[in-house]
Chains A and B, each alone.
Chain A
């Protein structure tokens, strides 16, 4: 079952603007990850934040995690046309099988116009 819910479903901005995407989830997690997918391609890992972390940076990416609200946000600063893609959050929770698996949210489609 899908656990993460991204918001907004679609976001359209101009180059140079910041883009913020949010993700909410339902159960306890080990970590939360963000992935990017260009149309029809495989997913690319962007950043991982552990359940005991509150904020993490990587280049133009900033991720926050609020475990009390079961939510995370991904901020892309100074966006570029090349950032146009779908962005998915994925929660990593150890299930009944004992194995850690990722469950993906519905994703946000980001369009950055030149």
Chain B
């Protein structure tokens, strides 16, 4: 069982919709990540939060808006997405002592 919970597991949205992906953790680690993964490709880093502050934004388009309201929650707000944004979105928490990432099961997003 993963200790990182992502919701929803599946999301279908139109290009004019506004939706959010959520990630919750109770591991106490303070580095939180969003990755995007297309089919048969490796995960690509989008954002990194450290102690609830945005530390890294890998030149992600503004239609993706991350938010970290507290040390347990990480959101990814979606607006005016394109069909090519369809992918598996993975949240991960990093153990700062070991560098190991703990992943959620992901949210599979389809943009119509």
CB of B104 within 8 A of CB of A42, answer yes
User: A105–B41 Cα gap in the complex (Å)?
Assistant: 9
Contacting A44 at CB < 8 Å: which of B44, B88, B103?
B103
Total A-B residue contacts, Cβ distance less than 8 Å: 64
Residues in chain B within 8 A of chain A (CB atoms): 2, 4, 6, 31, 33, 40-45, 48, 50, 55-56, 88, 90, 92, 94, 98-106, 108
B98–A88 contact, CB under 8 A?
A: no
Closest to B98 in A: A48
Q: Which of A35, A104, A106, A107 has the most CB of B within 10 A?
A: A104
Query: Which residues 73-114 of A sit at the B interface, judged by CB distance below 8 A?
Result: 88, 90, 92, 95, 97, 99-107, 109
Q: How far is the CA of A90 from the CA of B32 in the complex (A)?
A: 17
Contact residue among A43, A48, A95, A101 (Cβ-Cβ distance under 8 Å from B103): A43
Instruction: Give the secondary structure class of B's interface.
Output: strand
> 3 nearest interchain CB pairs?
A42-B103, A104-B42, A42-B105
- With beta carbons under 8 angstroms apart, the residue of A43, A106, A109 that contacts B90 is A43
B31 and chain A: residue at smallest CB distance: A99
* Residues of A with C-beta under 8 A to B41: 106
Given A42-B2, A106-B41: A100 and B99 within 8 A (CB)?
yes
Beyond A43-B90, A48-B98, A106-B42: 5 further Cβ-contacts under 8 Å? A33-B100, A35-B101, A45-B102, A104-B43, A107-B42
A102 surroundings in chain B (CB, below 8 A)? 45, 94, 99, 101
Measured in the bound complex, the distance between the Cα atoms of B99 and A41 in whole Å is: 21
Q: Which residues of A contact B31 (CB under 8 A)?
A: 99
